[in-house]
Amino acid sequence: MDPSEVAQNAIDAAARGSFLALVALGVALLFGIMNLVNFAYGEVILAGGYAMLIFTTWFLDASVWPLLIIWTVVVAIVFALAQERLAFRPVRHADPTTMLVTSFAVSVLLVNIAIVVWSGLARPVEIGGVTLEQFTAGEIRIRKLDVITLGAAAFLLLSLTAFLKRTSLGIQMRAASEDFRMSQLLGVPANRVIATAFFIAGILAGSVALITVGNQGSSSPGMGLFPLIFGLVAVVLGGMTSLIGAVVGGFVLGGLIVGLEQGLATYGMERFRDAFVFLAVIVMLVFRPQGLVVGRAIRERV
């Protein structure tokens, strides 16, 4: 492999990694605070995607992109908060498995509502040429969208870190994700902390929706599924209980995907890539369930 090929792969891995890190962060945030693996998080992304469709067909075209971004993120936040209020708050004290099934139900509900309203087919979203533009430096090609993804991921990660480290609400959230019950005893308001987690997850999902639609140029009922599943994979790889782990997991998975594509291509087996990714999940869960980055200990006392 020559240097430019290595560089190209590294850039691809970083672009995918930062995308996955954004999804994984949203998944890990909710898991850390309330032990919820939220399948329906994919449908927050979906809501963002269809919000973009509505924006470009009903209101304005995509040239007023700052408005498009704000609109998409706001819709995603509203959906995330609505999920919390309507579905997850009533089962908050149930066991994690019940919450998991609940999120599965919410996910299926929203996907099928999307199908009823917009049909099962992908609907093109006109957002201009940004998706196709790319920079070239010698043999290396960099898509503009990848640069935007990396930039957005860096911005969101830094903002989130600053929020969690500097603000009192952020500190309360960290306390809650360490030990929810203890944080309650110390007076951290449960509803506010959980709502904030969903709020942030909504921002992240809105950003993911913007990037996804930018990539595929359309919105479709299935658009939330694969980001979610791979985000979940990234969280498992990185460590379920740590936000840093989620980010690390996102980049590791990005690298793994690019590596698998390269490696399998030599055997003409790249279409089996995802099977290997899911195999990696099972291996990880069995041999290193705490993930690459260890957060709080999950261990039951006798």
Partner 1 sequence: MSETGTSTRLPVGGSLGSLGVRLWPLLAPAGLTILISLLALMGSEVLERKATFMLINMVFVLGLYTFVGNSGVLSFGHATFMALGAYTFAFMTANVRVKNTTLPDAPGFLRDADIATWQAVALAAIVPAVFALIVALPLMRLNGLAAGIATLAMLFAVGVIVSQWQSLTGGNTAFAAIRRETDLYYALVIVVVLMPLVYLYQQSRFGLRLRGTREDLLASRSLGINTVRERTIAWVISAAIVGIAGAMYAGFNGTIDPSQFFLGARSAGGVTFLTIAMLVVGGISSLAGAVVGTIFLSGIAEALREVEKATDQRHITEVVLALILLLTLILRPRGITGGREIYWPFRREQTMRRPAAAPSAAGTSE
Instruction: Work out which of 97, 136, 168, 266 binds partner 1, going by CB under 8 A.
Output: 97
Alpha-carbon gap, residue 103 to 29, rounded angstroms: 15
Instruction: Work out which of 10, 91, 140, 175 binds partner 1, going by CB under 8 A.
Output: 91
Q: Is residue 266 within the footprint of partner 1 (CB under 8 A)?
A: no
Nearest distance from C-beta of residue 61 to partner 1, angstroms: 27
What is the contact mask toward partner 1 in residues 68 to 87, using x (rule: CB under 8 A)? Answer: -------------------x
Residue whose CB is less far from partner 1, 144 or 296: 296
Say which residues have a Cβ less than 8 Å from residue 187's Cβ, sequence separation at least 6.
none
Residues 251, 149 contacting (CB under 8 angstroms): no
DSSP state of 241: T
Q: Is residue 217 within the footprint of partner 1 (CB under 8 A)?
A: no
Q: Is 71 helix (H, G, I), strand (E, B) or coil?
A: helix
Cα end-to-end span (Å), the chain: 54
Instruction: Work out which of 6, 67, 70, 94 binds partner 1, going by CB under 8 A.
Output: 94
Residues 30, 176 contacting (CB under 8 angstroms): no
Alpha-carbon gap, residue 254 to 16, rounded angstroms: 5
What is the contact mask toward partner 1 in residues 281 to 300, using x (rule: CB under 8 A)? Answer: xxx-xx--x----------x
Instruction: Work out which of 37, 53, 80, 142 binds partner 1, going by CB under 8 A.
Output: 37
Instruction: Work out which of 101, 154, 162, 186 binds partner 1, going by CB under 8 A.
Output: 101
Nearest to 51 by CA among 27, 30, 68, 66: 68
Alpha-carbon gap, residue 154 to 159, rounded angstroms: 8
Nearest to 298 by CA among 96, 15, 17, 40: 96
Instruction: Work out which of 6, 64, 67, 105 binds partner 1, going by CB under 8 A.
Output: 105
Q: Which stretch binds partner 1 (CB under 8 A): 9-17, 89-97, 132-140, 147-155?
A: 89-97
Q: Which stretch binds partner 1 (CB under 8 A): 7-15, 197-205, 208-216, 276-284?
A: 276-284
Alpha-carbon gap, residue 136 to 11, rounded angstroms: 12
Instruction: Work out which of 191, 272, 288, 294 binds partner 1, going by CB under 8 A.
Output: 272
DSSP state of 50: H
CA dihedral 290, 195, 70, 158 (to 10 degrees): -40
Instruction: Work out which of 233, 257, 258, 260 binds partner 1, going by CB under 8 A.
Output: 233
Q: Which stretch binds partner 1 (CB under 8 A): 1-9, 200-208, 260-268, 275-283?
A: 275-283
Residues 50, 121 contacting (CB under 8 angstroms): no
Residue whose CB is less far from partner 1, 114 or 156: 114
Beta strand residue intervals within 60-198, DSSP E: 123-124, 134-137, 140-143
Residue whose CB is less far from partner 1, 13 or 223: 223
Amino acid at site 289: P
Q: Where does this chain bind partner 1 (CB under 8 A)?
A: 35, 37, 87, 90-91, 94, 96-98, 100-102, 104-109, 111-113, 115-116, 120, 220-223, 225, 229, 232-233, 236, 240, 271-275, 278-279, 281-283, 285-286, 289, 300, 302
